[in-house]
Structure 1
Amino acid sequence: MQKDLTHGNVQRTMLVFAGPMIVGNLLQQCYNIADTWVVGQFLGAGALAAVGAAYTLMTFLTSVLIGLCMGSGSVFSFYYGKGDKRKMQESILASFLFIGIISVILNIAVFAGMDLILKLMRIPEDIYTYMKKYVWVIFWGIFFVFLYNFFAYLLRAVGNSVTPLLFLAIASMLNIILDLLLVVKWKMGVGGAAWATVIAQIISGVGIGYYLWKKEPELRFIGNGISLKEACSKEVLPEVVRFSLAASVQQSVMNFGILMIQGLINSFGTAVMAAYAAAVKIDSFAYMPAQEFSNSFSIFTSQNYGAKDEKRVKEGVRAAVKTSLIFCGIVSVLIFLFARPLMLIFVKATEVKVLQIGVQYLRIEGAFYCGIGLLFLLYAYYRGTGKPEMSVVLTVISLGTRVLLAYTLAPLLGVRMIWWAIIIGWFLADITGVLYMKKKKI
């Protein structure tokens, strides 16, 4: 099921390849939303606030591993486009060992530092018990997040975006079914919602690994005649580490900034926390296709950059920008018009204050999705052309601006300044990324 992205109509190739990735992330958002819906409707605003804060924490922690896998995927797709299967196999073994060790260390560290983490997040006392119960369970899924994402990015690097979708679909449906059973029927509370997610993560991680081992022998990280010495050579390992760490830093800095924003939001009380927990799920769902399209664009760019086809890379840039901006414009209109009905999916009509805050968030931030859409493409472009460090720079600009403005202005002018700080950060990073591209003529 491998696909060479160095031939064929540029826009059609990217869209066809991106399709399963977009659908897969939609499914992933669906089972995230299932947690939020079940908790919000059956356990109340306090539990919803706790799960929402835990979701932000887990997004930060897993972004470290997802970024590492994403960066390694750029190396894999580069060598695949170049036609160097041997180097690709060496990179696969090196990256599996490198990221696998980090995932184990991270998993141990979060259990050891659980109380400190919750304290730093400024969790209100009325939801602290909910939060601790939820994260104690959800942390067990971290290693399996690594497994799924490593194999998913490996398969996508060689043009197979369908198989990761199938395993994600199975996990998504299982998570929704388990949510209903564990929380609604068996009354296991927030712990039940967490176990539903962890079980789904185990199935997807182990399942996709087994598939790759049986069906894609040339992509195995052992058994292809590649020695540990070759994988850890000065030519292979440093390149894997460079791309992996750059993408991981970019992803983790981005989500660390989001985590800091969550801490500020927590200081405004349970109503704001609950509104943000629901609204951010809608927000993530809305711009997710643009994010996944940019991941497709990154792999397209990396394969063609490896094949030294600069003309095709430039055609890809034009097609990607056009596609992303059109999509983001349409979604912005829809979110602005239907903000309240969307909030009512997660929040009861009687929660008037929560609804009001959530609608405000969606109508401010949702009007400017073109900013985040372009920023995703810039991240993808710099990863695909061998300059992953520039993605880190843009992330620091975006998140640094967001955090600085939010912490400075929100205590004085209210929570809405947090929403405006996010938008300003997007556009400053966009301007920087475009100007750098024109200056360096890349």
Structure 2
Amino acid sequence: MQSQQKMGTMRMGPLIFSMALPAMISMLINALYNIVDSIFVARYSASALTAVSLVFPLQQLVIAIAVGTGVGVNSLIARCLGAKDQEKADNAAEHGVVLSIVGGIVFILLGFLGSRPFLAGFTENAAVLEQAVSYSHIAVGLSIFVMVSIMCEKIQQSTGNMIIPMCQGLTGAIVNIILDPLLIFGIGPFPEMGIRGAALATIIGQVVGMLIGLWGVFVHQKVLALRMRGWKPNLRMIGAIYQVGLPGIIMQSLSSVLTAGMNAILIQFSETAVTILGVYFKLQTFIFMPVFGLNQGALPVMGYNFGARDRHRLLSAYRITLISALVILGVGTVIFQIFPAQMIMLFTPANDPAATADMLETGIPALRIISLSFLGAGFGIINSTVFQAIGHGLASLVVSFCRQLCIILPVAALLGYFFGLGATWYAFPFAEYIAVVISYAVLARIYQKEIKNLAPKAQ
């Protein structure tokens, strides 16, 4: 109960950072894993890195469904706790666990049956296709473990417990980083598995994280009482979860559609362009993951204080989170502007100077141009946090749909057609700053209707 009380009483600055710091650390480690994983794959072969880049949209879809559902559960639990409805909060957590398992079963079918038809649409290189399918069978087909793990993280974060979720991410990522070179290159007693080894290392790390998460939810935390024996589905509860969660799923799935669409545009120029986009997504996680950690710390605080009808604390959480996000992303922009060559060199194949030169020529301007979008993205991320925290997941979806499908892909296709590969990257900053205007228009409307007149209920 103490973690709930602090969300309504503790000074906002220390509260946000005490909630967010464990998630930020965990996500930074996971970002480091993403980068290290790709570095090992790139060292194995250039075609392996291209294959991983092609599978990335499917992995984004896994995360979209896992995180979107988790955010819906997180938001509902936090609002119920703020409104002192313990029974409903407990039931929301129980539904979250079951929904994550159902989602994982769906991806078993998609990973093993749908990978080849999907990936065949993006490459005619037989070697790349076989490696991509092999990687997808494991990394996507066995994603039930990461889906349950993410749900456990979200349930605990909704109660103010950020330490166990941090341990999940840290432990899983460390296991993954250790196993990557052993399984990819066949070091010591381990067989050389290549790209399949990278996928297997990922799954083993996810299993470890899931086990810690299940312990945290069912044994360690005391705020919620989950009684899975005798559990029955409640359609109204599922509807309440997906009122926020479904728009969140669709919103994050748009990233998968965006990546697949950009791959289709870029492959017309070269496989190197597709690889550079994959490298960019790996690198930008190191900048954006701390912001998403900030988001995870702020979301239950905002949801709790919205449920408690405390406008002052809700807006204070928004201001502090937004300023912090802009500082992080401002630093990230500077790094991408100054060190693009050094970052790209991390992913160049060993003993292949021609491929290295090609990646540098394509990648340096790409990273510099795309990073101009970072500050605009910061406004969008934090505004979406507010929307999700107060139960308006649809607003996040509208903004994200406009940015990713209505702007980036058409603009990138047109710029590429008329001006060549180098111009396609400008679609990213163009879209982000248009989306800022849209998100603030939506936020202003919600503020007038639901936030402006909030006041704590009489005790």
- Which band: TM-score by shorter chain? over 0.9
Distance in structure 2 (CA, Å) of the matches to 1:417 and 1:62: 30
Correspondence list, 1:265-284, <5 A: 265-284=266-285
Helix, strand or coil: the match of 1:141? coil
Residue 36 of structure 1 aligns with which residue? 38
Q: CA deviation at 1:233?
A: 5.7
Matched, 1:106 2:107: yes
Q: CA deviation at 1:298?
A: 1.9
Residue 154 of structure 1 aligns with which residue? 155
Task: Provide the TM-score with structure 1 as the length reference.
Answer: 0.93
Residue 417 of structure 2 aligns with which residue? 411
Assess if the C-alpha contact under 8 Å between 2:273 and 2:362 holds in 1: yes
Residue 126 of structure 2 aligns with which residue? 125
Residue 380 of structure 1 aligns with which residue? 385
Q: Residues 220 and 371 from structure 1, CA distance in 2 versus in 1: closer, same or farther, beyond 3 angstroms?
A: same
Distance in structure 1 (CA, Å) of the matches to 2:267 and 2:74: 36
Matched, 1:68 2:69: yes
Assess if the C-alpha contact under 8 Å between 2:111 and 2:138 holds in 1: no
Matched, 1:20 2:25: no
One-letter amino acid matched to 2:213: I
One-letter amino acid matched to 1:206: L
Q: CA deviation at 1:207?
A: 2.6
* Deviation by residue 1:386-432 (Cα, 9 ceiling, x = unmatched): 21110000010110211111122213322233321122221111111
Assess if the C-alpha contact under 8 Å between 2:76 and 2:89 holds in 1: yes
Q: CA deviation at 1:134?
A: 1.1
Residue 92 of structure 1 aligns with which residue? 93
Identity of aligned residues (%): 19
4+ aligned runs moved over 6 Å, structure 1: none
Q: CA deviation at 1:327?
A: 2.2
Matched, 1:366 2:368: no
Q: CA deviation at 1:164?
A: 0.9
Q: CA deviation at 1:65?
A: 2.0
* Deviation by residue 1:283-305 (Cα, 9 ceiling, x = unmatched): 22122212221232222211111
Helix, strand or coil: the match of 2:7? coil
Helix, strand or coil: the match of 1:378? helix
Distance in structure 2 (CA, Å) of the matches to 1:136 and 1:99: 19
**Number of equivalent positions:** 437
Distance in structure 2 (CA, Å) of the matches to 1:103 and 1:133: 19
Task: Provide the TM-score with structure 2 as the length reference.
Answer: 0.90
Residue 436 of structure 1 aligns with which residue? 442
Correspondence list, 1:26-425, <5 A: 26-41=28-43, 43-122=44-123, 124-184=125-185, 185=187, 186-216=191-221, 219-222=224-227, 228-229=231-232, 232=234, 234=236, 236-348=237-349, 350=353, 351-400=356-405, 401-425=407-431
Moved more, 17-26 or 243-252: 243-252
Q: CA deviation at 1:126?
A: 4.2
Unaligned runs of 5+ in 2: 452-459
Q: CA RMSD in A?
A: 2.0
Q: Residues 402 and 124 from structure 1, CA distance in 2 versus in 1: closer, same or farther, beyond 3 angstroms?
A: farther
One-letter amino acid matched to 2:35: I
Q: CA deviation at 1:217?
A: 5.2
Unaligned runs of 5+ in 1: none
Matched, 1:426 2:432: yes
Helix, strand or coil: the match of 1:113? helix
* Deviation by residue 1:157-192 (Cα, 9 ceiling, x = unmatched): 011111111121111111111111111223211111
